[in-house]
């Protein structure tokens, strides 16, 4: 009898065309499990650091206690950062099975735009929504489509915000969300009048962990693209530096094509 661990039966061999869908799902599950395993000791570290900090109260007179306290604080910050990295990863890797149901895409987007309106106002961005009333009821995962569009809208606001919007500025900073029926697909445009994106970057921005923003985790766009692709759709960026960007999300009206029995 071999004492080697059994080979993971669920792990199919990669093909020349790249890993299979099943293979990716398997890797995602393994990585997700690993993330959970790492989170437990991290939260123990967090609690222990808090207890340690209490032993060195603020305003301690001697320099040594003050220094120790600063070091505990620094460690706590790093532990928090690690927790955030894991959370972001789970957010990206966590998308698995779609929960498909009949839904009115315009109503879904009305909810997303209403949710983001206060944030736009705060950032000095004018938000408009132009729904195509000819869109039929579609088959989609409402929560995920909302997440994808929200990621695109947040990026637009974050890109425009530093453009120092003054009161009555002309032209105003604009964020436009629009739907259109294109054959068997719905097309969603998320358009901004922000700084735009250099041609060399319009594909790189979709890479996992690519971020051009301080504090960005670089998962918003790859997550949105994965959501589009899991629906059988796609996401592309059209941009003109100095003018703005248009992120186009296509979703088939009937959702992803059914997978043939036994297919990867």
Binding site for Mg ion (CB under 5 A): 155, 220
What is d(CA 235, CA 250) in angstroms, rounded to the nearest whole number?
A: 6
Any idea what the Cα angle at residue 181 is, between residues 177 and 184, rounded to 5°? 130
By a kind-dependent CB cut-off of 5 to 8 A, residue 173 interacts, out of Mg ion, ligand ATP, none, with none
Residue number with CB closer to ligand ATP (26 or 210): 210
Q: How far is the CB of 192 from ligand ATP (least distance, A)?
A: 5
233 binds, among Mg ion, ligand ATP, none (CB under 5 to 8 A by kind): none
Cβ distance to ligand ATP smaller for residue 73 or 213 = 213
The one of ligand ATP, Mg ion, none whose footprint includes residue 205, by CB under 5 to 8 A per kind, is ligand ATP
β-pairing verdict for 173-182 and 125-130? parallel
Are the beta carbons of 175 and 125 closer than 8 angstroms? yes
Q: Which is nearer to ligand ATP, 151 or 179 (CB)?
A: 151
Q: Is 156 in the site for ligand ATP (CB under 6 A)?
A: yes
Residue 46 or 158: the one with the smaller Cβ distance to ligand ATP is 158
Helices H, strands E: what count in the chain? 5, 7
Assess 147 for contact with ligand ATP (CB under 6 A). Answer: no
Query: Between 72 and 205, whose beta carbon lies closer to ligand ATP?
Result: 205
Q: Which CB sits closer to Mg ion, 56 or 92?
A: 92
Q: How far apart are the first and last CA of the chain?
A: 32
Give CA separation, 32 vs 2, 89, 91, 93, 224, in Å: 28, 8, 10, 7, 19
d(CA 151, CA 264): 29
Candidates 30-38, 106-114, 181-189, 218-226; binding stretch for ligand ATP (CB under 6 A): 218-226
User: To 10 degrees, what angle do helices 63-93 and 220-230 make?
Assistant: 20
Round to whole Å and give the CA distance between 109 and 149.
8
Of residues 77 through 96, those in contact with ligand ATP by CB under 6 A are none
User: How many other β-carbons are positioned within 10 Å of the β-carbon of residue 68?
Assistant: 16
Residue ranges in 171-200 that form contacts with ligand ATP under rule CB under 6 A? 192, 194-195, 197
| Binding stretches for ligand ATP (CB under 6 A) | 151, 155-156, 159, 192, 194-195, 197, 205, 210-213, 216-221, 245
């Amino acid at each position: 009898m071999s004492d080697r661990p059994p080979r993971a039966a669920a792990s199919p061999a990669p093909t020349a065309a790249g890993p299979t869908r099943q293979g990716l799902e398997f890797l995602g599950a393994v990585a997700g499990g690993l993330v959970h395993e790492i989170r437990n000791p991290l939260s123990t570290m967090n609690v222990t650091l808090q207890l340690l900090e209490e032993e060195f109260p603020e305003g301690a007179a001697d320099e040594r206690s003050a220094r120790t306290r600063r070091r505990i604080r620094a460690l706590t910050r790093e532990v928090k950062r690690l927790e955030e990295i894991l959370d972001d990863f789970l957010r990206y890797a966590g998308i698995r099975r779609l929960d498909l149901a009949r839904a009115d895409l315009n109503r879904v987007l009305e909810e997303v735009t209403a949710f983001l309106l206060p944030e736009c106002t705060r950032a000095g961005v004018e938000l408009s929504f132009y729904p195509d009333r000819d869109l039929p009821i579609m088959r989609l995962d409402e929560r995920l489509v909302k997440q994808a569009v929200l990621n695109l809208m947040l990026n637009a606001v974050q890109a425009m915000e530093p453009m120092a919007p003054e009161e009555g500025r002309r032209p105003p900073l604009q964020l436009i969300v629009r739907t259109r029926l294109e054959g068997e697909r719905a097309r969603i445009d998320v358009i901004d009048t922000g700084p735009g994106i250099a041609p060399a970057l319009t594909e790189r921005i979709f890479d996992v962990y690519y971020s051009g923003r301080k504090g960005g985790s670089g998962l918003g766009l790859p997550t949105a693209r994965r959501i589009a692709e899991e629906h059988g759709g796609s996401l592309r960026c059209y941009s003109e530096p100095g003018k703005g960007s248009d992120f186009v999300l296509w979703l088939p009206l009937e959702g992803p094509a059914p997978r043939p029995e036994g297919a990867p």
